Every structure is written in C-alpha cells, then in structure tokens.
C-alpha cells in the first residue's frame, strides 16, 4: 500500500468520552530529540485525545518527561539546559507512552523509567551542603548510614545570590550543581586561611549558638508537619530538600514566639519564599497540602516502608518497589536480601521504635560493667541523642577508652565476646570495622529479662588521645558537626572523629597536606582551638 493511500488507524480518528480519558489532567513534556517526527505527532495527538496536557515549559510540571528510549540522562540534561534531572518529575522512555496508548490506560512506569544510575556515578561527589548558606563538608557518618544513598536531582534554572551565612530555600528551583560552590571555595594554602574568630565575626555560625530555647518549641504544630516532610523526602533520596527542611525546623524551634505572618516565616534563616508559603499554610490552616498528597500516594507509602529496613536505603527500596514488592512479607519471601537486611526485617518494629532514656542508660550500664570486668579504670560513655538530653533515642552509640592510653588495646574483641556470651548482643550487623586506630561494632542488643525489645547499638573503642574529638563527633548533632568541620576547613584546619589538625593545605577540596594534630585532651579544648564557645551536650541538639 502506498504512503498516500495508507489509512490512518481508527484508534487515532474516533472520539473518546470522558470515561476513556485515562490521561485526564496529566501533564506531559515531550522531549522529541531522537524520536521520529511522525511518532511525535502521534504521541501529541493521542496524549491530548486521552485527556493529557502537553506542556512546553518544565516549570508547569510535576508530571512526566518523555524521552526517546535510548536517551542518556546526561544528554537529556544538556538538551533541557539543566544541571541535573529534576526530582519531582517522572522521567520515562517513549515506550511508556506507547504502552499507555496501546493498553488505553496509564501503565506502571517501573520498567520504563530512564536509568539515572550512570549519571549518578559520574557525578558521585556529594554536595558540600551549606552550614547556614555556606558550603559545608559532607556529613562523615557513612558508618551509621544504612547504605550509600544516591543524591536526588533537581531543577537548576537560575542561580540566585547566595550570601555568607544565609540559607538556601530547599523549595526554590535552584540548588548548586556538583562541584559548584555557593560561596568562594577554601584557600589552597594554609598560610592565607582566615582565623576562626574573623570567620565567626562575619556570620552566625550554628556551632556558636545554643540549641536551647527557654520557652520551648512554640511552633511545634508547624515543625511536626515539616518533620514528616523530611521523612518523605529522605525516602525518595531528595537529600537537598530534606536538609533544607531540617534547617527550617531548627530555626522554628528556636523562634521565641508562634509564627503569625508569612513575613515572619520568610525572615527565618534558610527560609525562602516557597518554604515560607508552606510554613504559613500550616500556621493558617493546620494542614499542608503537599504532605497530604504524599500521605495519599500508595507508591510512596511502600517505598517509605522499605526504606525503614535497616541496610536498605531509598535506592534499594525503589528497586524493590520496581520489582513488584508491596509488603514486608514480599521482601521476606521473594527478595534477595543481604545479611544486614534480613536482620533489619526480623527486628523491623523494634528498630523503628524509639527507646526511653532509661532503657538507653541501662544498655550503657551493661556495656560498662562488662568492660570494667575486663579492664579496671575504663571509660564508657553513651553518646548521640542520649548525651544531648533527648527524652527518647533511636539507637545507642557507646564510646570506650582508657586514660592510660594503652589499656584499650585488645579490649574490643574481648568486650564483644563477653557481651555475646551473656546473650546481650544478639545479631551482628558489622562485627568489626577498622577506622584508623578506632574499632567499631554495629549490631543488635537486648537487655536481660522479659518484655525488652531488640535495640540498635554501636560500640566504638578509641585511643585516649582521640577520645575528645570522638566524643564531640559521636555526640553530635550532625548539623553542629558540619558547622564545626566547615569552620575548621575555612580556618586552614580539619576536624574529624580522630583529631583536630592545623596547617592543612588543600587544593580545592583535596588535601595536599594533612596538617599537624593539635593537643585536644578535652572537648573544651576542641571548641577553644576553633574559637567557639563551649556548649554542653544538651545545647548541641541543632
């Protein structure tokens, strides 16, 4: 049959009623690069025919970006003139659109999504997230993370002015791309570094402030909703927005009175116009439409359920979801699980349940008694949220050392053996992790007696000359730690759980010379070297 005489398929010609419009109000951005013109024309006609809305501006999304089947994420970004794939849009191959039209229904995108893994690997460098708008060093808590979670991507259509010590609204359309500094990068020479005192004088550093609010949290009705949003964004690997919401939560907790206007919300550190909109929406109505949308999304509920399995982050949770798993029983019976994930599933509810301070104290006492039975004079300290004075704890981090500087050697394996003999340690997640001169155990414990739940525990044995820096690090909060490390970095120093080094030489973010460790016999000495007023642990819950 000649091209002229070929009939247009009937499916393209006849009209459909509203009940057949499966694309009703669905927004679709068609990137036609690599797709034949005739096929593009069919896609456009069929999309509109079945109720879809074709958009030419990505700011009109969320919805779907449709690309040709062999498209690569990096090329897509170049064509769209964006730095990274957006996080709030489904990016699908044209095969998905074809399947929808063929089956006359909006089909599952799981097998049609554009693969972003190669793009993520190429741009593996984590963002140096802002302290209060500044570039911040990555939170070095990978040993506490359940898995390395790939950063979610976002729009970056415009670059705003980012001022020293001023936050960036996570709800804005811009976030710095990998390798792009929000402020001037650190000096490449230790000799030209700025003193901590001068840096502190230039802006409000989180590490210089107390987290305490004598009047309590007067905006708890707002922060509770924002905390729920943090969990949603973390479950979808949108770490940028999650971190931005956390900063807004801290600002709201310290605010001396209830928020009574949009202008008040906008004036908070790190809050831009769009996040202020959400804060004011909660203040006015008690609800947040975006959170309600998340809560109603069954797919997000499943991914969030899977993300809470210890040993599985957002990426793995999404893979399980794409494989068709919907429940924890599906994972137990059908999924290929690691040793850690099996343990995480076995104790799913117990690990998620926050324990009271009294239980954390009892766990610390069991470890202390076991350690003292092995070495006299040993120091055992429970850190984390317990040491910061929180009413409940998610897990227990216990530091072990000895003031003579040598008796900690060999204690790690003996202590674990003793605690396993008594049945206190029930499951090993990471039985022995060497971190320089420090040794760390990640596992599950359970107090003796009936009606006790299984709890997450980390035991870290450190040499005494590293104890103060380790104590600062493992006490936290993570926000405080980032602020301290950034201040050290910009002062020509470096701070870790091992030491505070001076005279560090960097080329960009790479250390050319590690520097010389400063004497840090106490936590107070760490703060003093950095020019920061000492804050007791209960004032570090930023």
What is the C-alpha separation between 404 and 343, in angstroms, rounded? Answer: 37
> Is 278 an active-site residue?
yes
- Look up tokens 């896609």; give the residue: 43
Note whether 34 and 68 are within 8 A (CB). yes
**Cα dist from 355 to 78, 385, 394, whole Å:** 49, 11, 6
What is the C-alpha separation between 103 and 112, in angstroms, rounded? Answer: 15
**Cα dist from 482 to 135, 354, 471, whole Å:** 10, 25, 15
What is the C-alpha separation between 233 and 236, in angstroms, rounded? Answer: 5
Q: Quick one: which of 128, 185, 192 has its CA closest to 503?
A: 192
**Cα dist from 318 to 235, 236, 306, 344, 529, whole Å:** 9, 8, 8, 17, 44
Token pair in block for residue 26: 């669905």
Q: Catalytic pick from 278, 439, 440, 489?
A: 278
- 10 Å CB burial of residue 486 (0-12, 13-18, 19+) is buried
- Look up tokens 């790190």; give the residue: 270
Token pair in block for residue 404: 């003579």
Q: Supply the DSSP symbol for 255.
A: -
> What angle separates helix 411-421 from helix 357-374, to the nearest 10 degrees?
120
Note whether 168 and 272 are within 8 A (CB). yes
Note whether 69 and 94 are within 8 A (CB). yes
Catalytic residues: 278
């Amino acid at each position: 049959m000649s091209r002229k005489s070929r009939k247009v398929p009937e499916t393209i010609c006849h009209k459909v009623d509203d009940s057949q419009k499966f694309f009703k109000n669905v927004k679709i951005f068609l990137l036609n690069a690599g797709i034949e013109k005739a096929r593009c024309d069919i896609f456009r006609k069929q999309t509109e025919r079945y109720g879809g809305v074709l958009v030419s501006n990505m700011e009109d999304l969320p919805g779907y970006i449709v690309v040709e089947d062999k498209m690569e994420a990096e090329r897509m970004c170049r064509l769209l003139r964006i730095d990274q794939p957006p996080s709030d849009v489904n990016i699908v191959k044209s095969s998905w659109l074809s399947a929808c039209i063929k089956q006359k229904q909006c089909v599952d995108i799981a097998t049609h999504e554009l693969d972003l893994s190669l793009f993520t690997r190429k741009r593996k460098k984590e963002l140096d997230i802002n302290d209060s708008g500044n570039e911040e060093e990555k939170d070095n808590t990978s040993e506490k993370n359940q898995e390395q979670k790939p950063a979610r991507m976002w729009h970056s259509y415009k670059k705003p002015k980012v001022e020293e010590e001023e936050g960036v609204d996570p709800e804005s359309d811009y976030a710095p791309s990998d390798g792009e500094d929000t402020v001037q990068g650190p000096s490449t020479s230790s000799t030209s570094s700025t003193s901590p005192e001068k840096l502190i004088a230039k802006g409000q550093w989180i590490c210089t402030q107390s987290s305490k609010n004598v009047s309590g949290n007067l905006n708890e009705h707002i922060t509770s909703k924002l905390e729920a949003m943090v969990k949603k964004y973390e479950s979808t690997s949108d770490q940028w927005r999650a971190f931005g919401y956390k900063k807004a939560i801290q600002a709201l907790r310290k605010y001396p009175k209830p928020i009574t206007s949009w202008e008040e919300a906008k004036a908070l550190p790190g809050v831009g116009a769009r996040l202020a909109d959400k804060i004011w929406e909660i203040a006015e109505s008690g609800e947040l439409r975006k959170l309600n949308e998340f809560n109603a999304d069954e797919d997000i509920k499943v991914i969030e359920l899977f993300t809470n399995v210890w040993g599985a982050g957002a990426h793995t949770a999404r893979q399980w979801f794409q494989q068709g798993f919907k429940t924890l029983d599906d994972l137990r019976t059908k999924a290929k699980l690691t040793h850690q994930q099996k343990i995480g599933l076995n104790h799913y509810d117990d690990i998620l349940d926050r324990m009271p301070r009294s239980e954390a104290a009892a766990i610390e006492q069991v470890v202390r008694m076991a350690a003292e039975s092995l070495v006299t004079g040993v120091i055992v300290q429970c850190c984390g949220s317990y040491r910061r004075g929180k009413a409940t704890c998610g897990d227990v981090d216990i530091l072990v050392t000895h003031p003579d500087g040598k008796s900690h050697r060999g204690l790690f394996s003996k202590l674990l053996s003793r605690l396993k003999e008594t049945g206190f340690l029930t499951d090993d997640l990471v039985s022995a992790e060497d971190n320089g001169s420090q040794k760390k155990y990640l596992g599950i414990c359970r107090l003796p007696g009936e009606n006790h739940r299984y709890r997450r525990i980390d035991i870290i044995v450190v040499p005494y000359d590293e104890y103060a820096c380790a104590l600062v690090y493992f006490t936290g909060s993570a926000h405080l730690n980032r602020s301290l490390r950034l201040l050290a970095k910009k002062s020509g120093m470096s701070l870790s759980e091992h030491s505070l080094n001076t005279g560090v030489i960097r080329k960009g973010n790479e250390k050319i010379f590690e520097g010389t460790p400063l004497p840090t016999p106490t936590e107070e000495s760490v703060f003093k070297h950095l020019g920061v007023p000492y804050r007791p642990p209960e004032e570090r819950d930023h």
